[in-house]
């Protein structure tokens, strides 16, 4: 892991690799490097640290050439240093490889190769690929790659190049994303479309078991046995201008402010003449007697909100799992289960594996995905796109709101087709959803107040987030956001669980973010706030405007518009995101690229 870019064609490769690596930064990384074929020999430049540092070094090299490989690395095997950065090569420095994924049997392969005289220059699992190709190479790179594939166990997307075939790249995909970009000037291989969007919008999404050979004048796609395959190309519809900062200091702040537009976009796409149209047959939803949702990270928190809403509206049981845990349980699912996968990227390794397991069990699958054409979207029985647009900040913001909104539409739709909610409630709630962008805009307009709170609390080393009911998942999400970008320890807990352990942590001045909008659990949550107050904790209250009882006990207050409990789940994330953002900025943290995190987790 984490990002691949390769090019072969008529244009100078260096600026393509430099721009591609910059575009891949959002995925998270700790080092980067390139290999460029110049005058028949590969020149390699790689180092730990930021891509800007690498590009500054490359700008002094004046490298020319029309073929090259680039990579951003997120360490899985070996320390973060120059030797372990990609690209990697064979003993003769003629075969070069960049790789995402994990070669699970690399240790045994490495030992076997050493016994046969191979010398290694890194600690990585990737390097064994180059040495295996070296052993099998007999003048045809794709033939050598095909020969070694049965020896590799694990997940991988890799691209290989060889000095002996100076106009050829060979790419392979198995359980890790890889796409082919097409243009009049050449061909691109990349781990996602963001790396090549400046050069082309026409792409071929490779599937597991695909091998692509790209040359200056054409390409071919084969299976792992070398048999030709036919694949259709697609046009990327989104504009990468939306992934520029556009005057904001950070992508994260820009993306927080884009959230009202994200909801407007989804209303326009999925609500027509007062009816929710998700592009799914009503029978697909009506037949479901149990929903099983899997996701990771922020998407998991969106799933937990959906659990509350759908059980309330549709009166059917909902089970929510983290994808990584679902895969290794002895799960029992009935045939009438609808299995829902939520992923921003559509490439999350554990979620993809969970969906494939569910399909083997014979249940129907529905994907809630942001990236069109992604693997999960292609393999699911049905898909709903969240239309958040490119999200560059590693910490998810607008993708989360988009997931929450889509899940609200889905819950309402299921409740209606099952005749659990009536037309009157459906229409009334839909009218409230139409107003959601205005409510979000009102919260964003209050960002100065949240900035002031952050200026008071940014030096604290521990935070506690409390909520009850359907906003409890938002407490988890608020704590996660703070952890991700400010490196402050934070925990989210149900208010009712406070006395079962966390209350021991509450002491004078401990910041406690308490979420208690109006609703059925407001009074219970207020009792928890009073318990914090009695122990002199510092209360940051997020409550409904006009609730003076809560306001009077809070050290810091953030007011919400007077909406129903269900709709508040869409609005509460805004102040939580802004609070985390401003605390991180005050601490001088890298908000868009926090340490050790990757945007798209494509390995287990």
Q: What percent of the chain has pLDDT over 70?
A: 98
> Can you tell me whether residue 437 is helix, strand or coil?
helix
Quick one: which of 364, 302, 376, 361 has its CA closest to 338?
Answer: 364
| Cα distance between residue 126 and residue 112, in whole Å | 15
Mean pLDDT (the chain) is: 95
Per the DSSP assignment, residues forming a β-bridge with 271 are 276
pLDDT of residue 243: 61
Quick one: which of 467, 566, 576, 574 has its CA closest to 522?
Answer: 467
Residue 62: pLDDT band with limits 50, 70, 90: confident
- Six token digits for residue 229: 């395959």
Mean pLDDT of 98-120: 97
pTM across the whole model = 0.86
pLDDT of residue 28: 78
Quick one: which of 250, 262, 440, 257 has its CA closest to 344?
Answer: 262
CA-based Rg of the chain, rounded to a whole angstrom? 25
Chain segment 162-213, per-residue pLDDT in tens? 999 999 999 999 989 999 999 999 999 999 888 998 999 999 999 999 999 9
Half-sphere exposure of 440 (CA within 13 A, CB side): 28
Per the DSSP assignment, residues forming a β-bridge with 190 are 5, 179
- Spell out the CATH class of 241-421: alpha beta
Question: For residues 280 and 366, is the Cβ–Cβ distance under 8 A?
Answer: yes
570 vs 501, higher pLDDT: 570
| Cα distance between residue 545 and residue 560, in whole Å | 5
Sign of CA dihedral 220, 225, 231, 235: negative
Chain segment 19-58, per-residue pLDDT in tens? 999 989 887 788 999 999 999 999 999 999 999 999 999 9
| Cα distance between residue 338 and residue 281, in whole Å | 13
pLDDT of residue 502: 85
pLDDT of residue 192: 87
Q: Are strands 165-174 and 210-215 parallel, antiparallel or unpaired?
A: antiparallel
Chain segment 371-410, per-residue pLDDT in tens? 988 999 999 999 999 999 989 899 999 999 999 999 999 9
Mean pLDDT of 412-417: 97
Whether residue 247 has pLDDT greater than 90: no
Whether residue 16 has pLDDT greater than 70: yes
Q: Where are the domains of the chain?
A: 3-236, 241-421, 445-593
The domain 3-236 is placed in CATH, from the list 3.90.1150.10, 3.60.20.10, 3.30.1950.10, 3.40.50.2300, at 3.60.20.10
Residues in the chain: 604
- Six token digits for residue 495: 């208010």
Mean pLDDT of 93-117: 97
- Cβ neighbours, 10 Å, residue 321: 17
| Cα distance between residue 307 and residue 301, in whole Å | 10
Please name the helix (run of DSSP H) or strand (run of DSSP E) that holds residue 101, with its range, or none. Answer: strand 95-103
Say whether 445-593 and 241-421 share the same fold: yes
- Cβ neighbours, 10 Å, residue 87: 28
Q: Is 288 left (phi over 0), alpha (psi -120 to 50) or beta?
A: beta
**90: Cβ contacts below 8 Å, ≥ 6 apart:** 118, 130, 131, 133, 134
Residue 505: pLDDT band with limits 50, 70, 90: confident
Residues forming the active site: 2, 599
pLDDT of residue 242: 63
Site of tokens 């002199």:
536
pLDDT of residue 239: 63
Question: For residues 374 and 274, is the Cβ–Cβ distance under 8 A?
Answer: no
Chain segment 71-82, per-residue pLDDT in tens? 999 888 889 999
Please name the helix (run of DSSP H) or strand (run of DSSP E) that holds residue 187, with its range, or none. Answer: strand 186-190
- Six token digits for residue 291: 């929903």
Half-sphere exposure of 373 (CA within 13 A, CB side): 20
Chain segment 289-312, per-residue pLDDT in tens? 999 999 999 999 999 999 999 999
pLDDT of residue 175: 87
Chain segment 342-362, per-residue pLDDT in tens? 999 999 989 999 999 999 999
| Cα distance between residue 463 and residue 538, in whole Å | 10
Residue 599: pLDDT band with limits 50, 70, 90: low
| Cα distance between residue 319 and residue 292, in whole Å | 5
Phi and psi at 70, nearest 5°, equal: -135, 155
Question: Which CATH superfamily is 445-593 part of?
Answer: Glucose-6-phosphate isomerase like protein; domain 1 (3.40.50.10490)
| Cα distance between residue 486 and residue 482, in whole Å | 6
Sign of CA dihedral 344, 346, 347, 352: positive
Per the DSSP assignment, residues forming a β-bridge with 321 are 294
pLDDT of residue 601: 64
Phi and psi at 360, nearest 5°, equal: -65, -30
Question: For residues 126 and 86, is the Cβ–Cβ distance under 8 A?
Answer: yes
Residue 595: pLDDT band with limits 50, 70, 90: confident
Mean pLDDT of 478-505: 94
pLDDT of residue 413: 97
Site of tokens 């605390």:
583
């Amino acid at each position: 892991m984490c990002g691949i870019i390769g090019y072969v064609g008529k244009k100078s490769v260096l600026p393509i690799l430099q721009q591609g690596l910059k575009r891949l930064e959002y995925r998270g990384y700790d080092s980067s490097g390139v290999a460029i074929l110049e005058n028949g020999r590969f020149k390699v430049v790689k180092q730990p640290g930021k891509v800007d540092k690498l590009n500054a070094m490359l700008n002094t090299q004046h490298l020319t050439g029309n073929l090259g490989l680039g990579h951003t690395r997120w360490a899985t095997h070996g320390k973060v240093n120059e030797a372990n950065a990609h690209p990697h090569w064979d003993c003769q420095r003629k075969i070069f490889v960049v790789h995402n994924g994990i070669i699970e049997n690399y240790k045994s392969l490495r030992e076997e190769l050493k016994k046969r005289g191979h010398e290694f220059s890194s600690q990585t699992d990737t390097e064994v690929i180059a040495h295996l190709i070296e052993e099998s190479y007999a003048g045809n790179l794709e033939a050598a790659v095909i020969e070694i594939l049965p020896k590799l166990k694990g997940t991988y997307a890799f691209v290989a190049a060889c000095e002996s075939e100076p106009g050829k790249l060979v790419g392979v995909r198995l359980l890790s994303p890889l796409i082919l970009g097409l243009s009049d000037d050449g061909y691109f291989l990349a781990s996602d479309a963001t790396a090549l969007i400046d050069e082309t919008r026409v792409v071929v999404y490779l599937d597991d078991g695909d091998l692509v050979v790209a040359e200056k004048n054409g390409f071919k796609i084969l299976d792992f046995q070398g048999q030709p395959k036919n694949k259709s190309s697609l046009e990327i519809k989104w504009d990468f201008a939306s992934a520029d900062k556009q005057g904001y200091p950070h992508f994260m702040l820009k993306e927080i402010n884009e959230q009202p537009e994200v909801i407007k976009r989804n209303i326009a796409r999925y609500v027509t003449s007062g009816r929710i149209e998700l592009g799914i047959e009503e029978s697909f939803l009506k037949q479901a007697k149990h929903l099983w949702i899997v996701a990771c990270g922020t998407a998991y928190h969106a799933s937990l909100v959906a659990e509350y809403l759908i059980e309330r509206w549709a009166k059917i049981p909902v089970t929510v799992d983290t994808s990584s845990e679902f895969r290794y349980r002895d799960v029992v699912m009935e045939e009438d289960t609808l299995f829902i996968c939520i992923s921003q990227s559509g490439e999350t390794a554990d979620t993809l594996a969970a969906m494939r397991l569910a399909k083997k069990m014979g249940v129907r699958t529905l994907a809630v995905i942001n990236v069109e054409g992604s693997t999960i979207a292609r393999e699911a029985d049905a898909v709903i796109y969240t239309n958040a647009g490119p999200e560059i900040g590693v910490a998810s913001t607008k993708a989360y709101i988009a997931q929450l909104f889509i899940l609200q539409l889905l819950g309402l739709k299921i409740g209606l087709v099952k005749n659990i909610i009536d037309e009157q409630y459906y229409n009334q709630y839909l009218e409230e959803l139409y107003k959601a962008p205005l409510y979000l805009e009102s919260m964003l307009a209050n960002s100065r107040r949240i900035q002031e709170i952050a200026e008071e609390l940014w030096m604290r080393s521990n935070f506690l987030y409390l909520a009850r009911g359907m906003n409890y998942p938002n407490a988890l999400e608020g704590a996660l956001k703070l952890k991700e970008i400010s490196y402050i320890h934070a925990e989210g807990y149900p208010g009712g669980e406070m006395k079962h352990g966390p209350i021991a942590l509450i002491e004078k001045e401990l910041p406690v973010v308490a979420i208690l909008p109006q609703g059925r659990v407001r009074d219970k949550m207020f009792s928890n706030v009073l318990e914090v107050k009695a122990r002199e904790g510092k209360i940051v209250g997020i409550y409904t405007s006009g609730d003076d009882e809560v306001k009077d006990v809070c050290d810091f207050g953030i007011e919400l518009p007077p909406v129903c409990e269900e709709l508040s789940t869409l609005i509460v994330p805004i102040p939580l995101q802004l609070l985390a953002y401003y605390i991180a900025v005050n601490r001088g943290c890298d908000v868009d690229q926090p340490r050790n995190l990757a945007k798209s987790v494509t390995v287990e």
